[in-house]
Amino acid sequence: MVTPPLELPFIRTGPFDLATQGATLNRRDRERLALIAVRMRVPADRILFERGAPADAVYSISHGIVRSFRRAPHGRRRVLALLFPGDLSGLARQGRYVNTAETVTAATLFKVPLDQLAAMARGDPGLAFSLLCKATHSLREAQRHTLIVSRAYAPGRVAMFLNMMDETAGRSQRSARVAARLSTADIAEYVDLTPGAVSRALADLESRAVIARRPKGGIRIIDRDRFDHVVNGGHL
């Protein structure tokens, strides 16, 4: 009934690299999940679930972007992950969601009841293994995020973010121009800067001819070498 049932086509690597093999949940896994998932369309800026709420489902993103975040004391939010098509959202602990999830753009996603997913995974090594791959992928991304946030050099953070978006875009044509869909404020939340600092960083990278900003918020990488240099920790 759902076509494609659950598109999770982006797991290129495995848990402890168990799976250089695949990228996607295989057909069988997708079909099995489709049996228990509910498809839903959600407009932008809609909360999917709140931190602390009983965790009853996992969301598989089919289209659109979702952000996972926590609220800091003084109103500022700390985004812990940006989720793209193929990603799963719903990290929990002791029955409660750990973060709040909200759509950034309009999105279509599949809601998978947790109890059913757990039951299914327990009896299905292939599925459990696939989920392990996903979790491992998320772990790598989280570590990359830590790397981004721990850099002092603002253009470095932004460059790493752009690089991430660039890679993500490679996963699917759909999300190719995603970066353009994200506001300066969205980027700022993810890389832990203020919108102003992001703006300055982008201006800096542009003035040095590393990137070029196109109208509509599009960004193009002009000088790959120097861009990579900055991404890898370089200071210019």
The residue ranges that bind a copy of itself (CB under 8 A) are 12-20, 55, 58, 70, 72-74, 78, 80-81, 88, 90-96, 98-99, 114, 117-118, 121-126, 128-129, 131-132, 135-136, 138-140, 142-143, 145-147, 149-150, 192, 232-234
Rounded Cα distance, 170 and 174, in Å: 9
User: What track of x and - describes contact with DNA for positions 137 through 176 (by CB under 7 A)?
Assistant: ---------------xxxx---------------------
Rounded Cα distance, 19 and 135, in Å: 12
Among a copy of itself, DNA, none, what binds residue 184 when CB lies within 5 to 8 Å by partner kind? DNA
DSSP state letters, 73-91: TTS-EEEEEEE-TT-EE--
Residue 212 as a binder of DNA (CB under 7 A): the answer is: no
CB atoms within 10 A of CB 44: 13
Residue 203 as a binder of DNA (CB under 7 A): the answer is: yes
SS3 159: helix
- Near DNA by CB under 7 A: residue from 183, 209, 212, 232: 183
Rounded Cα distance, 168 and 162, in Å: 10
Among a copy of itself, DNA, none, what binds residue 26 when CB lies within 5 to 8 Å by partner kind? none
Alpha carbons within 13 angstroms on the beta-carbon side of residue 219 total: 29
Residue 233 as a binder of DNA (CB under 7 A): the answer is: no
User: What track of x and - describes contact with DNA for positions 40 through 79 (by CB under 7 A)?
Assistant: ----------------------------------x-x---
Using an 8 Å Cβ cutoff, are 188 and 195 in contact?
yes
**DSSP secondary-structure letter at 153?**
-
User: Contact positions toward DNA, by CB under 7 A?
Assistant: 74, 76, 152-155, 183-185, 192-203, 213, 215-217
